[in-house]
Amino acid sequence: MTSWELHGHELANCNCATGCPCQFMALPTHGNCEAVATFEFDKGHYGDTDLSGTKSALVVRWPGAIHEGDGTMQIIIDEKASPEQREALFKIMTGEDTDEMATMWWVFSAMSPHKLETLYKPIEIDMDMETRKGRVKIPGVFETEAGPIINPVSGQEHRARINLPHGFEFHVAEMAKGTTKTSGEIELKANKDTHVHMVEIHLSNSGVLEAAA
């Protein structure tokens, strides 16, 4: 198994209500799962391949809950990545060289038998976990706009986090709301003002890490 480690940030938007029932071992809000997730890595490696400064994304859709399978998945890797970096990110995001169930990428790939062609596109991501604001743009694939949860009574911003000590994606995530518009092969129809999580991501072959890469 080739050793790998990645550190950076993630912005994800799914079609569930804020908080996402999946985080609490419940079924999706609408019975199915549709999501996008974008990653920017400030540090990382796959074997001897340096992955610092790379970006990637996913568009995924399942007809039911994720664990029921039959999903469709498409990986997008930033066009600036070298051939070696592209190959490394693809392997990581399809669960190769990863302990069973150790990362969300392993799970998503295992539950998605329908894999579309990997795309190499410019990926723009801008996110601020402190303000819970973010934006992603991948031409011809999707755009996501995210912002803080708003208290419906006071109109003030509401801050909430999810803490998963044994999570396979993150240990702590900031909650927000967002909207995604798709323009690629996978069409997401219900991601409007829905769940967003923003994460300082740190993963390896064996799962979530605490120390800096």
Residue 140 per-residue DSSP state: T
Has residue 63 got a pLDDT over 80? Answer: yes
Q: Which tens digit of pLDDT belongs to each residue from 13-29?
A: 999 999 999 999 999 99
Q: How does pLDDT run across 121-168, given as a tens digit for each residue?
A: 999 999 999 999 999 999 999 999 999 999 999 999 999 999 999 999
Structural element, H or E, at residue 126? strand 124-128
Q: Which pLDDT value is given to residue 212?
A: 43
Q: How many residues does the chain have?
A: 213
CA 28, CA 65: separation in Å to the nearest integer? 6
Tokens of 84: 């070696």
Fill in the amino acid letter for 54: T
Q: State the Cα–Cα distance between residues 150 and 152, nearest whole angstrom.
A: 6
pLDDT for 65-84, tens place per residue? 999 999 999 999 999 999 99
Please state, rounded to an integer, the average pLDDT across all residues of the chain.
96
Q: Using alpha carbons, list the distances in angstroms from residue 59 to 49, 101, 165, 184, 193.
A: 25, 20, 26, 9, 17
